[in-house]
Structure 1
């Protein structure tokens, strides 16, 4: 039996290249918002610093705070617009869903190969994502039937789970696949995600560097960093768990 028995995958930027699409959607939202108000222009660095990996509304609020802008939180039912944090988040959702339709989604080949390898080796697998669009993305990428356990933004809202960098969603996924956290691998491309893996005392935190930087991923909790999951095989499950005395 390998030391590590489950692999918990983030979605955007790990299984699918939708992180890049999300980056452009956020730019479409915030570039004009900042221009009209005379704020410091939005840049790609803002995505990694304030938004990447977080629940949508938290990302809006964190970015606004970086520009000294205060808006009422509002409600998830708010119409897409600019009057509240939720309205802005809902506007971003409209933008990104239009982009899904226009551009389509394909998974990273290296990630699919790694998924195939660990599944063939007997590992349990799950998707853990802050996105409420996770079911749409998995279906469009042809991966929906590969994951019996999905803990996404919808599940987090329904069950009252805190978003990344809190480890709650990953811990819930470990519970659902029936493997102790100390025997699970967390696979993440976002700083908030590797922080969640480290905070949750998971067996191994794999960072995938899609632009945030290998050093930054390590500094925030990644044990191993790769540029693409094609660099890894199922023998990663044989690595000793980072947590000693872990429950078998």
Structure 2
């Protein structure tokens, strides 16, 4: 459904646009990456609980096992990749407890500390696209694996741009499996009164692109913030851009 024009998307073909948050609307993916690295490397160097491979955690581990997934799934998948076995624990495990959920809560504490200290703003190109889509009257949603999505939107001053937010807390409350399952995107489309075959997904994470592809969304746009164009294409993206500014028609000067 791409077309020949100055921009690669004709937005009038669609009924809703569904945005991932971290790395698509705001640069908070970088904060998540730092928080994951600090947490995992402290754990890996702090002893041999669970056995397995204790080599340092890297950005490659983030993109392969963690990026875009619900927090506890990311912990589980990374530990599994290293052959490390920990108890599952409980949702409210303290951050110093060496369980899957304790490590996940340790990472969440680190993320919230950075967000509170440094704040966050939307990517300029993403804000330009939000402005353009608002001018077209298209309903928008955020679909994020993070339970921190409302706080991030509030801090960035972008809460009013989205008709709904389907985040990790909503997914848990409604029993929706997280990305790469398509359910959270499908739910957001339903809330906006449409169906996947009329909606666009914008994602920077492989797991999120796979979710959009699995849900048969009309258009899945990958945003390359580090995963790689070919990787996102192989995951199911119909189109990959480096910045959402590429999806905004250029300003036409009056003759």
TM bracket (short chain): over 0.9
2:75 counterpart residue number: 60
1:158 counterpart residue number: 173
User: Is the counterpart of residue 10 in structure 1 residue 25 in structure 2?
Assistant: no
Counterpart-to-counterpart distance in 1, 2:123 and 2:246:
12
Q: For 1:20-31, what aligned pairs fall within 5 Å after superposition?
A: 20-31=30-41
CA distances 1:39-59 after superposition (whole Å, capped 9, x unpaired): 111001111000000000000
Counterpart-to-counterpart distance in 2, 1:122 and 1:101:
32
Offset of residue 66 of structure 1: 1.1
Q: Which runs of 5+ in 1 are unaligned?
A: 236-248
1:42 counterpart residue number: 57
CA distances 1:68-94 after superposition (whole Å, capped 9, x unpaired): 111111111111124210011011111
Q: Which runs of 5+ in 2 are unaligned?
A: 1-10, 251-255
Q: Is the 1:118–1:234 Cα contact (8 Å) retained in structure 2?
A: no
Give the TM-score taking structure 1 as reference length: 0.92
Offset of residue 123 of structure 1: 1.2
Counterpart-to-counterpart distance in 2, 1:43 and 1:177:
38
2:202 counterpart residue number: 187
Offset of residue 180 of structure 1: 1.3
Q: Is the 2:139–2:163 Cα contact (8 Å) retained in structure 1?
A: no
Counterpart-to-counterpart distance in 2, 1:74 and 1:32:
19
Over aligned residue pairs, what C-alpha RMSD do you find? 1.3
Counterpart-to-counterpart distance in 2, 1:32 and 1:88:
10
1:246 counterpart residue number: none
2:231 counterpart residue number: 216
2:253 counterpart residue number: none
Runs of 4+ aligned residues of structure 1 deviating over 4 Å after TM superposition are none
Structure 1 residues 227 and 189: CA distance shift in structure 2, 3 A: same
- Mean CA deviation greater in 161-170 or 82-91: 82-91
User: Is the counterpart of residue 196 in structure 1 residue 211 in structure 2?
Assistant: yes
Offset of residue 2 of structure 1: 2.4
Q: Is the 2:201–2:212 Cα contact (8 Å) retained in structure 1?
A: yes
1:245 counterpart residue number: none
Counterpart-to-counterpart distance in 1, 2:167 and 2:234:
25
Offset of residue 233 of structure 1: 2.1
2:132 counterpart residue number: 117
Counterpart-to-counterpart distance in 2, 1:103 and 1:43:
23
Counterpart-to-counterpart distance in 1, 2:42 and 2:137:
48
Alignment partner of 2:91: what SS?
A: coil
Alignment partner of 2:202: what SS?
A: strand
Number of residue pairs matched?
235
2:109 counterpart residue number: 94
Give the TM-score taking structure 2 as reference length: 0.90
Alignment partner of 2:212: what SS?
A: helix
